[in-house]
């Protein structure tokens, strides 16, 4: 295998990059997502893009950048912060050459000393073992692998309480007015639809400025691109044509992800989120989608829909004496709370 490191995302052939992202089943690995992230957050940072080739074919892309602090180079994956899944862009590591690609890419990083902070890498990639990394913490990433012929078949395999709520909750909402669902599809009204999404999200969190709202500009760019490409899944639950809940997600390569949402806090006694998510999952099943990803976090409502967990690992690996000392200090926090470990990482 041949590995080269470039200093720009433009060095990656788009067609091959897109193919790898689809094979990986990861919207957050697409050129559209990562190039938008770089425009918004890359600034004057130094990109370090690994291209792994086998017989002249690119089989993996490793999108890193150098985040300098305290004189020690810290490498992170491009896309961190707003992406729910990071890591090398390649098919699952069930293929031997994919595993070899990860190991080769790590060995070829052109720096004598560094810490590579590998955040939110799926366990399927076996990154930690292949790069000799230390696991710092793990995150749940529930998903529903759709193995049922229809929504009705899916419901038969859920508990009776789940089935009853799927049928009863929309009827309860109907007491407030006409219940309908709308999928954003018009480029001319997309900005207004995104305004509605951000407003519902802000109100859901009592006016707080959440990370999602801080990245509103990025999401406007991504949503517009996703709509053009047929990827955008921006659903609204409406009562008498007034939006009361929203789900913002994407669909690519037979996989759908529910990224973020919001709801009207005046209707907290009504299960708006459950009703809208049920509708979105049902539509995904009707359209033949293979997987519905609920993304990072082990919230109880996700467990009601999911039947497996992708598992996301945050690990780190060091090269150089001083880098290894810092990493040893971070690893000593493994017995502490998850919050303490994450704060340590944020301050590296």
Backbone angles phi, psi at 338, to 5 degrees: -60, -40
**Mean of pLDDT values over 256-267:** 97
DSSP per position, 225-242: HHHHHT-EEEEEEEETTE
Using the structure block, give the residue that is written with the tokens 């930690």: 128
How many Cβ atoms sit within 10 Å of the Cβ of residue 208? 9
Q: pLDDT tens digit string along 61-115?
A: 999 999 875 678 899 999 999 999 999 998 876 567 777 888 889 999 999 999 9
User: What is the pTM (predicted TM-score) of this model?
Assistant: 0.90
Using the structure block, give the residue that is written with the tokens 């985040």: 67
Q: Is the dihedral of CA 123, 125, 130, 133 positive or negative?
A: negative
How many Cβ atoms sit within 10 Å of the Cβ of residue 187? 10
Q: What is the reported pLDDT for 341?
A: 45
Q: What is the mean pLDDT of the chain?
A: 90
Query: Could you tell me which residue, 342 or 43, shows the higher pLDDT?
Result: 43
Around 121, how many Cα atoms within 13 Å sit in the side-chain half-sphere? 32
Q: What is the reported pLDDT for 343?
A: 53
Q: pLDDT tens digit string along 45-75?
A: 999 999 999 888 999 999 999 987 567 889 9
Q: What is the reported pLDDT for 96?
A: 74
Around 16, how many Cα atoms within 13 Å sit in the side-chain half-sphere? 14
Are the CB atoms for 2 and 191 separated by under 8 Å?
no
pLDDT band at 336 (very low <50, low <70, confident <90, very high): very low
Q: What is the reported pLDDT for 338?
A: 45
DSSP per position, 176-187: TS-EEEEE---G
How many Cβ atoms sit within 10 Å of the Cβ of residue 214? 11
Nearest Cα to Cα of residue 154 among 257, 323, 278: 278
Using the structure block, give the residue that is written with the tokens 């990433």: 141
Q: Quick one: how far is CA 302 from the chain centroid?
A: 15
* CA–CA separation, 83 and 90 (whole Å): 17
Q: pLDDT tens digit string along 185-195?
A: 999 999 999 99
Pairing of strands 291-293, 255-263: parallel
Q: How far is CA 184 from CA 42, 178, 187, in A?
A: 30, 19, 8
Q: pLDDT tens digit string along 129-165?
A: 778 888 888 999 999 999 988 999 999 999 999 999 9
Query: Could you tell me which residue, 332 or 51, shows the higher pLDDT?
Result: 51
Q: What is the reported pLDDT for 188?
A: 98
Task: Give the SS3 label for residue 115.
Answer: strand
- Whether residue 248 has pLDDT greater than 90: yes
Q: What is the reported pLDDT for 235?
A: 98
Backbone angles phi, psi at 201, to 5 degrees: -65, -45
Q: pLDDT tens digit string along 202-245?
A: 999 999 999 999 999 999 999 999 999 999 999 999 999 999 99
Q: Which two tokens stand for residue 20?
A: 């790898």
pLDDT band at 331 (very low <50, low <70, confident <90, very high): low
State percent of the chain over pLDDT 90: 73
Task: Give the SS3 label for residue 283.
Answer: helix
* CA–CA separation, 131 and 102 (whole Å): 7
Nearest Cα to Cα of residue 304 among 161, 122, 117, 106: 161
Q: What is the reported pLDDT for 69?
A: 58
**Mean of pLDDT values over 13-42:** 95
State percent of the chain over pLDDT 70: 93
Domains, the chain, in order of start with CATH, read 2-140+311-346 (3.40.630.30), 143-309 (3.40.630.30)
Beta bridge partners of 121: 86, 313
**Helices and strands (DSSP H and E) totals, the chain:** 13, 14
């Amino acid at each position: 295998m041949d590995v080269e490191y470039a200093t720009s995302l433009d060095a990656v052939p788009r067609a091959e990059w897109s193919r790898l992202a689809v094979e990986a089943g990861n919207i957050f690995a697409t050129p559209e997502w990562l190039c938008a992230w770089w425009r918004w957050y890359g600034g004057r940072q130094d990109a370090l893009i690994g291209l792994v080739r086998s017989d002249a074919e690119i089989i993996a892309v490793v999108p890193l950048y150098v985040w300098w602090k305290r004189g020690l180079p810290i490498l992170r994956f491009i896309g961190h912060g707003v992406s729910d899944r990071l890591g090398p862009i390649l098919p699952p590591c069930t293929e031997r050459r994919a595993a070899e690609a990860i190991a080769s890419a790590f060995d070829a990083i052109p720096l004598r000393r560094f810490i590579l902070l590998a955040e939110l890498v799926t366990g399927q990639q076996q990154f930690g073992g292949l790069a000799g990394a230390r696991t710092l913490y793990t995150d749940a990433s529930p998903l529903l692998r759709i193995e049922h012929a229809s929504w009705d078949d899916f419901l038969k395999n859920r508990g009776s309480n789940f089935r009853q709520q799927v049928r009863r909750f929309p009827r309860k909402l109907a007491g407030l007015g006409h219940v309908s669902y709308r999928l954003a599809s018009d480029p001319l009204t997309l900005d207004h639809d995104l305004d509605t999404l951000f407003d519902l999200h802000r109100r859901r969190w009592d006016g707080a400025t959440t990370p999602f709202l801080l990245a509103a500009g990025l999401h406007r760019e991504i949503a517009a691109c996703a709509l053009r490409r047929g990827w955008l899944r921006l659903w609204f639950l409406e009562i008498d044509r007034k939006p009361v809940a929203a789900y913002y997600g994407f669909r690519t390569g037979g996989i759908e992800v529910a990224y973020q949402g919001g709801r009207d806090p005046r209707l907290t006694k009504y299960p708006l989120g459950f009703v809208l998510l049920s509708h979105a999952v049902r539509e995904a099943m009707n359209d033949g989608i293979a997987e519905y990803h609920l993304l990072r976090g082990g919230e109880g409502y996700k467990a009601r829909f999911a039947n497996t967990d992708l598992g996301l690992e945050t690990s780190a690996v060091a090269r150089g004496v001083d880098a290894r000392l810092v990493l040893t200090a971070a690893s000593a926090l493994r017995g502490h709370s998850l919050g303490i470990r994450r704060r340590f990482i944020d301050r590296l």
